[in-house]
Amino acid sequence: MIFEYKLSAGKTDFYNITAQVREAISKSGVTDGIAMVFCPHTTAGITINENADPDVVYDLLLGLEKAFPDRPDFRHGEGNSSAHLKASALGSSASIIIEKGKPVLGTWQGIYFCEFDPPRNRTFFVKVM
Ligand code: ZN
């Protein structure tokens, strides 16, 4: 069963989508399986990281900017190669174990849609199996 969600990403940020993933799992009725979260975009990604201290997301964004800055020698005409790099570094999907109808996540973990080329209207999918 596949669920589609829309997201309005106004700025470069990590958008917490844990609630949508929990909702998709709940609606699917699957109690023992896998949920795959997939982002069909080339300048956005999916990751699992800390959701307790917002400074962690701030630091992740800072580190990604430092690791993948815009460069004058990039050739891609759209001018967003830095966003493509960040998206590839994080990847376009995450898989989450489902046990007893709930996602198996660590206490401090959240699932994030990572926007690197805002503003964009985005889509992501949750496949529950
Ligand atoms: Zn591009």
The answer to whether the beta carbons of residues 115 and 46 sit under 8 Å apart is no
pLDDT band per the 50, 70, 90 thresholds, residue 99: very high
Question: What is the pLDDT, as a whole number, of residue 128?
Answer: 98
For residue 83, the CA-to-ligand 1 centroid distance in Å is: 8
What's the pLDDT tens digit per position in 41-95? Answer: 999 999 999 999 999 999 999 999 999 999 999 999 999 999 999 999 999 999 9
Per residue in 1-24, pLDDT tens?
Answer: 999 999 999 999 999 999 999 999
> What's the 47 CA to ligand 1 centre distance in angstroms?
20
Residue 109 Cα to ligand 1 midpoint, Å, equals 30
Q: What is the predicted pLDDT for the residue at 120?
A: 98
- Protein residues placing their CB within 5 Å of the ion ligand 1: 78, 80
12 CA from centroid of ligand 1 (Å): 15
Taking the model in full, what pTM does it have? Answer: 0.96
pLDDT for 3 equals 98
Kindly give the distance from the C-alpha atom of residue 27 to the centroid of ligand 1, in angstroms, as a whole number: 35
Ligand 1 centre from 20 Cα, in Å? 27
